[in-house]
Structures are given as C-alpha cells and as structure tokens.
Amino acid sequence: MSDIVLIGGGVIGLSIAYELATHGASVRVLDQSQLGQESSWAGAGMITPANPEHAPSPEIRLRGESFVRWPDWAARLREETGIDTGFACCGGIGFAPYHSKVEATALAKKLRNEGVRAERLDSPQLRNLEPHLNPAFSDPIYLPDYCQVRNPRLLKALLAACAARGVKLSPGMPAIGFEQQAGRVTAIRTPTEVISAGQFVVCSGAWSQTVLAQAGCQISVEPVHGQIVLLDMLPLPTRRIIEVGSRYIVPRADGHLLVGSTEESIGFNKRNTAEAVAELIRFGCELIPSLKSARLERCWSGLRPGSPNGLPHLGRVPAIDNLFVAAGHFRAGLMLSPITAVLLRQLLLGETPTICLDDFEPHR
Ligand SMILES: Cc1cc2nc3c(=O)[nH]c(=O)nc-3n(C[C@H](O)[C@H](O)[C@H](O)COP(=O)(O)OP(=O)(O)OC[C@H]3O[C@@H](n4cnc5c(N)ncnc54)[C@H](O)[C@@H]3O)c2cc1C
C-alpha cells in the first residue's frame, strides 16, 4: 500500500509525486488515460518572471516562489534523468493590455516595484531588439527574465524521475469513487482495483470538480479550452516570447513557433476549429509579417483547469481529513508546478507551508 495516492498525472500530479518521493514517501499516481498528455502537454511553456521578495499579493508571492525555484528544479531533473527540459531564459516582449505610452510606463514601473526587471522600449529600441516585428505594434515592455520550458520534455523528465524514485505510475486507471469512513477516505475505487492509502490528492486538472464530486465535495474547476498553432521557420524571426494580451508567439530554439491561444468555455471538447486556427495564424502573421512564409506544422488544443478567480485550489478538502486538492491552475500550471509540489509535500508530510495558503483554500 502506498502512503499517498495522487489522482491525475499531469504536471501537477507528477511534480508532487516527484517531490514527495525525494522526501521518502511511497507514492502512486493514477491517470484515467496516458500520463502527462492533457493540458500539461498542450501548454506553451511560458514561465513568467515574478519575485517573491516584493510580492504585493499572495498570488504574486506564489508565482515568485515558483519562478525562483525553476532553474534548480530543471537542473535537478536533468541530473537525475539526463533529460533536458529546455528550461531557458529567452526574454519576452509584452504589448498589452496597456495601449498607451503612459499605461506602458506605469506597468513597467509597477513590475519594477515588484522586483521584476521591466523596461519600456521606444520604437528604435524595439526595432533594434526585434527587427522582424510589425512596427504597427508599439509601446512594449521588455522583460529580460522571461523564461520558457519545453513542457513535453518536462513531462518526460518528471515521469523518468518519478519512476527512478520508485513512484508507482498507473495509466489507464480512472478514479471512479471514494470509500469513506468517519471523515476520512479509506480507498479509491477504479474499474479494476480498490486502492487504499493514508492520504489522497485530487490533481485531475480540468476534471477535478467531477472527481471531487465523487467524494461529496463542491469545488469549482471548469475546463477552459485553448487552441495552439505550430509553425516552423529557420532562421527564427524572434528568439523572445512576444505577448499581445492573451495571444502570444513562443519560439523554440529548433525553429518551431507556437502561436496561441484561445480561451473558450465549451465543456470537455478538445476540437480545433477552422475559425480559431485561422485567427491565430492571422495574429501571428500580423505581428511578424515574415511568418507568412513559415511552414504550418500542426495544431492542437488542451483543457486548462479554470477556477472562479483564476487562483489554484491548494489544500485540504474541508471535512475530509486526508483528502487534498491541487487543481485549478488555469493558465499558469506549468509555471506554478515547482511551488505547488513543494507546498503539497509540506502539507502532506505535516510541515508548515512556505507561504500562507488562505487565499488558495479549496472552499474559499
Ligand atoms: C493552450 C494552452 C497553453 C498553456 N500555456 C501555458 C503556459 O505557457 N504556461 C503555464 O504555466 N501554463 C500554461 N497552460 C496551462 C497549463 O497547461 C495547466 O495549468 C496545467 O497543465 C495544469 O496541469 P494539471 O496537471 O492540473 O492538469 P492536466 O495536465 O490536464 O492533468 C490532469 C490529469 O488528470 C487526469 N484525470 C482526470 N480525471 C481523472 C480521473 N477520474 N482519474 C484519474 N485521472 C484523471 C487526466 O487524464 C490528466 O492526465 C496552458 C494550457 C493550454 C491549454
């Protein structure tokens, strides 16, 4: 019998499993399908800079605590598995939601006050840094510490690291019910096994609400569909992440460029639509006109786990002593995976969490 069973093997479940296993816990991860093939695979891998030292809110503190852990997290995974996650500081340029010089200047100042390096660029500076960008896009902010990770590689590394540390990985094993006694979960039911453990964590991404409902818990997590288009072009027209509001281009060193992404509330539906794909390609080519000759490689989509205020649910489920949740990371689950792993390990092993989790309480 494992000490801890995790329901869901995306980046959140695998990161928690890896962290727990490095601290001596015996862990099992169940997934209803293949491990690491849902939202965590589909994401763009942007790791936005944040600084825990000057964070004005718990959300930014959470981001900052994760951001500072990334270099070491990626290095540990590489050392343990030989897999390079592609974590790298590539820098980023943001154009929105600020529309004027005044707003851009104010935002850059706000970010600097939060301890994040952020510079306003004028048009000649922007042209100098990014000669292929359409000059119609102006008043950007330059974030030199913006990072990225190759999330499919991150997932491979996490799977290898978990396996090497003795985590029992069980793909194709959906949780379909909970057995409970005296305010505790005693076992998880799957179609083929009843699995007992000391503690349980629901980290089932966009499906977490459904899984928690099986235990009688009402915690809101909604699927938010995001579509991405993959282009291919060498030499790359940019090496930085370029963001315009919720749209972005993320260049990979090998010539791939991810153009994303939509936000659609259409339930558990992962289809790519002609309209969204056309709109993303139009956006990419408007931002970087030379992309008109890029090769269209493929498109895909994923279901982000959305929570009512965009913050993840992290903590113990009320009224059930040994059931925890780590879900609802919305657009930032890859970015927040190292700190989520640390916080859940601390909760599960009875340690004091690094940060106060009141704002992330599952029943907030
Ligand atoms: C297009 C797109 C772009 C994104 N870009 C970024 C980005 O740049 N940076 C960033 O930080 N984040 C990004 N995200 C968000 C990020 O991908 C998610 O926040 C993160 O992957 C959530 O991880 P997860 O492990 O909670 O969910 P998932 O990866 O979805 O994993 C949940 C797992 O639970 C399993 N499961 C579900 N129900 C059950 C059950 N009953 N029993 C057993 N297993 C079950 C599923 O099969 C799945 O494998 C993006 C997302 C999308 C879709």
CATH number at residue 78: 3.50.50.60
Residues 179 and 231 in one domain: no
Question: What is the 4 CA–ligand 1 centroid distance (Å)?
Answer: 20
Nearest CA, atom 44, ligand 1 = 31
Predicted pLDDT at 31:
98
Burial class (CB in 10 A: 0-12, 13-18, 19+), 275: exposed
Task: Please list the residues that pair with 241 across neighbouring strands.
Answer: 92
Distance (Å) from CA 252 to ligand 1 centroid: 21
Domain containing residue 95: CATH number: 3.30.9.10
The pLDDT-based confidence of 29 (bands split at 50, 70, 90) is very high
- Same-domain status, 210 and 321: yes
The domain boundary, picked from 267, 291, 306, lies at: 306
Q: Do 135 and 226 lie in a common domain?
A: yes
Asked whether residue 301 falls in the same domain as residue 250, the answer is yes
Atom 2 of ligand 1: nearest residue by CA position: 43
pLDDT digit string, tens, across residues 185-202 = 999 999 999 999 999 999
Q: Is the pLDDT of residue 364 over 70?
A: no
- CA–centroid distance, 303 to ligand 1, in Å, is 7
The reply to whether 80 and 155 lie within a common domain is yes
Which residue among 262, 303, 304, 311 is best mutated to probe the pocket of ligand 1, counting the most ligand atoms within 8 A of its Cβ? Answer: 304
CA of 307 to the centre of ligand 1 (A): 13
Residue 100: pLDDT band by 50, 70, 90 thresholds? confident
**What percentage of the chain reaches a pLDDT higher than 90?**
92
Indicate the pLDDT class of residue 104, thresholds 50, 70 and 90: confident
* Per-residue model confidence as pLDDT tens digits over 144-201: 999 999 999 999 999 999 999 999 999 999 999 999 999 999 999 999 999 999 999 9
Ligand 1 site, residue 302, Cβ cutoff 6 A: yes
6 and 77 housed in the same domain = yes
Residues 163, 80 share a domain: yes
Name the residue with tokens 């019998």. Answer: 1
Distance 112 CA to ligand 1 centre (A): 31
Whose CA is closest to atom 42 on ligand 1? 174
The CA 205 to ligand 1 mean position distance, Å, reads 5
Q: What's the per-residue H, E or C state across 248-287?
A: EEEECCCCEEEEECCCECCCCCCCCCHHHHHHHHHHHHHH
Is pLDDT at 34 greater than 70 in this prediction?
Answer: yes
**Cα–chain center distance at 324:** 19
**Gap between the Cα atoms of 327 and 306, Å rounded:** 9
For ligand 1, whether the C-beta of 225 sits within 6 Å is no
Asked if residue 126 and residue 26 are part of one domain, the reply reads no
Q: Is 223 in the pocket of ligand 1 (CB under 6 A)?
A: no
The tokens for 140 are 């950007």
Same domain, 100 and 232: yes
How many residues comprise the chain?
364
Return the closest-CA partner of residue 297 out of 254, 233, 341.
233
Final residue belonging to a domain, choices 261, 284, 306 = 306
pLDDT of residue 139: 87
Amino acid 99: pLDDT: 62
The last residue of a domain, from among 286, 306, 326: 306
Contact indicator for 84, 90 with CB cutoff of 8 Å: no
Verify whether ligand 1 is closer than 6 Å to residue 64 (CB atom): no
Is the same domain home to 197 and 277?
no
Q: Are residues 80 and 227 both part of a single domain?
A: no
Cβ–ligand 1 contact at 322 (below 6 Å): no
Give the range of the structural domain holding residue 298, as residue numbers without chain letter.
89-146+222-306
First to last CA, the chain: 33
Domains in the chain, number: 2
pLDDT at 101 over 90: no
Mean pLDDT for the stretch of residues 283-297: 97
Instruction: Tell me, yes or no, whether 233 and 198 share the same domain.
Output: no
Predicted confidence at residue 249, as pLDDT, reads 98
Q: How far apart are alpha carbons 21 and 228 in whole angstroms?
A: 33
Is the Cβ atom of 45 under 6 angstroms away from ligand 1? yes
